[in-house]
Amino acid sequence: MKMMTVFNDPEGETRFGEETVDLRAGPMNVEARHSAPEACKRFYFSELSPGYTSSNDFAGRRQVCVLISGQLEVRTTNDEASVIEPGAVVRLEDTGYEMPGRSMRVIGNEPVRVLVVQLE
């Protein structure tokens, strides 16, 4: 399984990456496959209204987000853009508040609903 990542490079710039999540057979060796568990601190839901935009954004802490509905465009500091679709899983590790650089905007007339899982 692939998961998009957003992170700060050594110079503090925001970049996109991709992480492979290994899925393995569960303990009863049934058809269900699972990733390794990862501890988390809390979770919450967020809704971004149509027309929402932000700039100079960063993740206050490491988190994993699951887009539930709507479409969200995310841009990095080098103006690379990616459109996030429902069902996408994104790991946000761009915690560098000294040089925030991610921007986001809701695409279309549907609100964006996100499940945010904070890892720390």
Render pLDDT for 34-81 as a digit per residue (tens, 0 to 9).
Answer: 888 889 999 999 999 999 998 877 778 899 999 999 999 999 888 899
CATH number at residue 49: 2.60.120.10
More confident: 5 or 57: 5
> Edge to edge, what strands does the sheet with 81-84 contain?
53-57, 102-107, 71-75, 81-84
Give the C-alpha separation, 34 to 7, whole Å.
Answer: 25
Tell me the residue range of the domain where 44 lies: 2-118
Whose tokens are 């549907």? That residue is: 110
pLDDT of the residue at 84: 95
Query: What does pTM read for this prediction?
Result: 0.81
> pLDDT-based confidence at 99, cuts 50/70/90?
low
Say how many domains are in the chain: 1
> pLDDT-based confidence at 6, cuts 50/70/90?
confident
Render pLDDT for 104-114 as a digit per residue (tens, 0 to 9).
Answer: 999 999 999 99
Going through the chain in order, the beta strands assigned E by DSSP cover 2-8, 14-20, 24-25, 33-34, 42-48, 53-57, 63-69, 71-75, 81-84, 89-93, 102-107, 112-118
pLDDT of the residue at 98: 66
